[in-house]
Chain A
Amino acid sequence: GDSVTQMEGPVTLSEEAFLTINCTYTATGYPSLFWYVQYPGEGLQLLLKATKADDKGSNKGFEATYRKETTSFHLEKGSVQVSDSAVYFCALNSGGSNYKLTFGKGTLLTVNP
């Protein structure tokens, strides 16, 4: 079945540091890929998405590129801010009959001033 593996956290960075959170997946067919963000005490928000190979999703300075050859969708940001502190989830949707999102376990990011 479908699965998502993302790097274990927690990740602690200083403000303006470069961020990479690795994500790899296993899925049948051609899944759509997503990064969701969960700020403290809140629900999940879609951060960015990519629906086919080589697509780049981007939002709020975050980017991720759909790499079919390496089955990866790594999240990057060039300069993190304290306000980026949150839990980040990589997810996929392979379009099965239940349109289920399959999530990774989440990576806690803490950015210190």
Chain B
Amino acid sequence: EAQVTQNPRYLITVTGKKLTVTCSQNMNHEYMSWYRQDPGLGLRQIYYSMNVEVTDKGDVPEGYKVSRKEKRNFPLILESPSPNQTSLYFCASSLYPDGGLRSYNEQFFGPGTRLTVL
């Protein structure tokens, strides 16, 4: 089954304790992205990756790191979590959207990771 998986689904941690949220897709997608969802703000992009070893900042990258060593995996790293990073996190992937003007390939979303930082 084609899917994007995230682990863990739920996590409660304390300020300053490093954590990693994993994301994996089995669709051979080049493009992967992380979003955070907060009440009243919708989803905002944290980081994205066009392919292996190619990553870049989205709109809200502060306090996060990512890596893309393999095509299927795109972990999100919080080296020193703070309470303002309490949120619902979504990973997404798609084929590389390079088909020309206004081309778009559907982004598939994972089930989400609910993170609470105390």
Taking Cβ atoms with an 8 Å cutoff, the residues of A that contact B are: 4, 30, 32, 36, 41-46, 49, 51-52, 89, 93, 95, 98-101, 103-106
A41 CB to closest chain B CB (Å) equals 8
Interface size on B, residues (CB 8 A): 28
| A43-B90, A43-B109, A44-B90 as given contacts; A103 in contact with B42, CB under 8 Å | yes
**With A99-B94, A101-B45, A101-B92 given, can you name 6 additional A-B contacts, CB distance below 8 Å?**
A36-B109, A42-B112, A43-B111, A49-B104, A93-B104, A105-B42
The residue on A at minimum CB distance from B96 is A99
Taking Cβ atoms with an 8 Å cutoff, the residues of B that contact A are: 4, 31, 33, 35, 40-45, 48, 56, 58-59, 90, 92, 94, 97, 101-104, 106-107, 109-112
| A43-B111, A99-B48, A100-B48 as given contacts; A89 in contact with B42, CB under 8 Å | yes
A27 CB to closest chain B CB (Å) equals 12
Taking CB atoms, residues of chain A closer than 8 Å to B94 are 99
In the complex the two chains form, what is the Cα distance from A80 to B43 in whole Å? 25
